[in-house]
Amino acid sequence: MKSADVMRVLGTMSGTSLDGVDAAEIWTDGIEISRFGASRFRAYAPAEQKVLQAALGAWRADDAAALVEAAHGELLSAFEQPDLVGFHGQTLAHDPARSATYQAGDGAQLAEALGWPVAWDFRSTDVKMGGQGAPLAPFYHWACARWAGCEQPVVFLNLGGVGNMTWVDPQSDAPEAPGVLLAFDTGPANAPLNDAMQARTAAALDENGALARTGTVDMKVIHRLLEHPYFKKLPPKSLDRDAFTDVLVTDHLKDADAAATLTAAVAACVALALEHCPKPPTRLFVTGGGRHNATMMDMIAAASPCGAESIEAIGLDGDMLEAQAFGYLAARIKRGLPTSCPSTTGVPAIVGGGILSYPGEH
C-alpha cells in the first residue's frame, strides 16, 4: 500500500449489549491493514444503561443521543488526535423492511466537540437502497483474513448482543467482488442471556458460562426458536436485538436451566447458519463478548464441523475488532470505496455509504 494513503483512524463501537464504548486505533488505506495501535473501553454506568434501554425501539431519542455523544467524546479525547474518527453510534431501532435504521449520536456534533473529522451514519445509504444495513464488518473481516495470511475460506463469528457471521474467501483482491463474502445475522447471542441474568440475579452476565454449565437445556424452547420464520430466509439477512423475545421464553425455567437454554440457543443458530456457506470453512474464528463464555464456546465448537476458536488464535483482538472495523470503514468512506455489497447486506448494488463531518462546518 502507498504510505501516503495510510491513515491513522480511531474506530468506535457501542454494541447492542449496551455494555459501553470501544475505541481502537488502526492504520489502514481502507484496503489492507498496516498495523494496530492503542485501544480503550469506556463502560456505560448503570444509570446510562437505563437511559439506553428505555430508548430501544425509538426512532428518535435526544437524551440517548446526547449520552452517546458525551460518552464517545470522553473516551476519544484520551487519545492523540487521529487523521479520522469512525463513529458508529448506538443502534436503537433497525427495520430494513421499512427502509429505516437509527443509530443515536450525531457525528457532526462529535466532530465539533473533538475538533477532529468524523465519518458516521454508516448504515442509512445501504438501507435506503434496499439493503439490510447490516452486518457491516464483513469488508473488514476480509482484510483481517488477508492480514492473518489465511489462504482458504474461513468464517468470522461475532457474538455481541446479536450473532453475525462472515464467510470469507481471502484469495480475491477486492471484498466487493462476487463470491468473496457472504454475511448475515445468525440469531440471538448475548443479549437474551444478559437480559435474563440481569432480571434474575445481581450479575450483568453469566461469567464464563458458569451458571449455564450447571443447567439443563430445554429443547422445547430451542425447537420453538428454530421454527421462527427468520431461519427459513436465505442470507443476506439481519435482525433487531429483540427479534426473538416472543419465542425465547424461559420464565418457567430455573436460573441455571434458563442460562443453559439461552446459551444453547446461540449454538443452535450458528449450526444452521454454517449450512449456508458456499464452501465449507477451514476455521471458525469467534469474536465479541461471547468468546469469553467457555460454555457457549464449547457448545458452538460441538455444533460446528470445523470447531471454533477465539480470534486471538490469529493475533487479533476480539474485544476491539468491531471498533477497528468502523475505523477501517471510515477510511473507505474517506477514499470513496464501497462499504457493503449484495452478498453482505442484500443491497441490490455495491454501496459506499456514510457521512464525513468536519469541525467548523456548522
Residue range 69-94, pLDDT digits in tens = 999 999 999 999 999 999 999 999 98
Residue range 239-265, pLDDT digits in tens = 878 899 999 999 999 999 999 999 999
The pLDDT of residue 160: 86
The pLDDT of residue 362: 66
The pLDDT of residue 97: 87
| Residues contacting 324, CB < 8 A, separation 6+ | 11, 24, 26, 36, 140, 317
pTM exceeds 0.75: yes
- Eight-state DSSP code of residue 107: H
The pLDDT of residue 112: 97
The pLDDT of residue 237: 85
The pLDDT of residue 2: 66
Cross-strand bridge partners of residue 91: 103
* Domains of the chain, earliest start first: 3-133+322-357 (3.30.420.40), 149-314 (3.30.420.40)
Cell numbers standing for residue 40: 480503550
User: How far is residue 24's CA from residue 9's CA, in Å, rounded to a whole number?
Assistant: 8
Q: Could you give phi then psi for residue 3, rounded to 5 degrees?
A: -60, -30
Closest CA to 80 of 114, 121, 57, 123: 114
CA 286 to chain centre: 12
pLDDT < 50: residue spans in the chain: none
